[in-house]
Amino acid sequence: MAAIDLNADLGETVDGVPTADDEAMFAVISSASVACGGHAGDATAMREAVARAARFGVAVGAHPSYPDPANFGRSPMEMAPDELAASVAEQLGRLVAAGADLRYVKPHGALYHAVTRDKGQADAVARAVAGQSELLGRALPLLGLAGEIVGAAASAGLPFVREAFLDRGYSRDGGLVGRTEPGALLADPAAVAARAVRLVRDGQVEAVDGTVVVTEAGSLCLHGDSPSAVAMARAVRDALDREGVEVRAPW
């Protein structure tokens, strides 16, 4: 039986107010990338996410960001590698302190994109994750798209798992279309579910210009703060179930 991980970015409270229906999302995913204070989230939200994960049998990953809550971590920041490594390490520590059985790490927003192209930023993130791995006694996988972070993970002795996005537009080079550009965000549950099946069965996703992008993903991502996130997640899960694809965490 084919199997795939379905992850969502959750625990993203802003001033204590949730940006997603976490309860509904946890019911259909297999991994949750939990905000740990860089762009969103606080100690209460982290504890609640950890409790939900235990209740639904969902793996917990850390979702560290540039320390930029004002912009929800979606604006690039200039940070020295040591400063960035310290910030990411602190965020991971917060989630562990909230009781998380941490299984993987996925950078958020602008940091996610920075580590695909900037070796210094990628190495800094990998160094922080390696440090937390040493404390936990196991190597934490890094979840990402491609680029510099792949080599940084390998150099730090960390597994790397490639992910694909179900609700974001792709460019022909396999990158994501900027959020302000046409076609950047997908919201139709049926279209997103069809994309999920194609990714699992054929390892393909269609870019906004019609180009077919080939990718071998170990995890599929839905953003929890999208307006139709719950409907999309349920449609994806139903479609994968009909295709006989097992949804489970690989960590």
| Bridging pattern class, strands 31-35 and 59-63 | parallel
> How many other CB atoms sit within 10 Å of the CB of residue 70?
8
**Mean pLDDT value of segment 189-208:** 98
Averaged pLDDT score across all residues of the chain: 97
The pLDDT assigned to 130 comes to 98
Question: Quick one: which H or E segment has residue 39?
Answer: none
The tokens describing 228, both together, are: 């139709």
Hey, where are the domains in the chain?
3-245
- pLDDT tens sequence across 2-35: 999 999 999 999 999 999 999 999 999 999 999 9
The pLDDT assigned to 236 comes to 98
- pLDDT tens sequence across 30-58: 999 999 999 999 999 999 999 999 999 99
- pLDDT tens sequence across 210-239: 999 999 999 999 999 999 999 999 999 999
b/e per residue 176-192 (b: at least 16 CB within 10 A):
bbeeeeeeeebeebeeb
Confidence of residue 243 (pLDDT cuts 50, 70, 90): very high
- pLDDT tens sequence across 74-116: 999 999 999 999 999 999 999 999 999 999 999 999 999 999 9
**Mean pLDDT value of segment 160-182:** 95
Please determine, looking at this structure, whether the domain spanning 3-245 carries the CATH number 3.20.20.370.
Answer: yes
Residue 50 vs residues 61, 76, 92, 97, 109: alpha-carbon distances, Å: 10, 29, 13, 11, 22
The pLDDT assigned to 1 comes to 72
- pLDDT tens sequence across 116-146: 999 999 999 999 999 999 999 999 999 999 9
Say yes or no to pLDDT of 191 above 80.
Answer: yes
Percent of the chain having pLDDT more than 90?
99
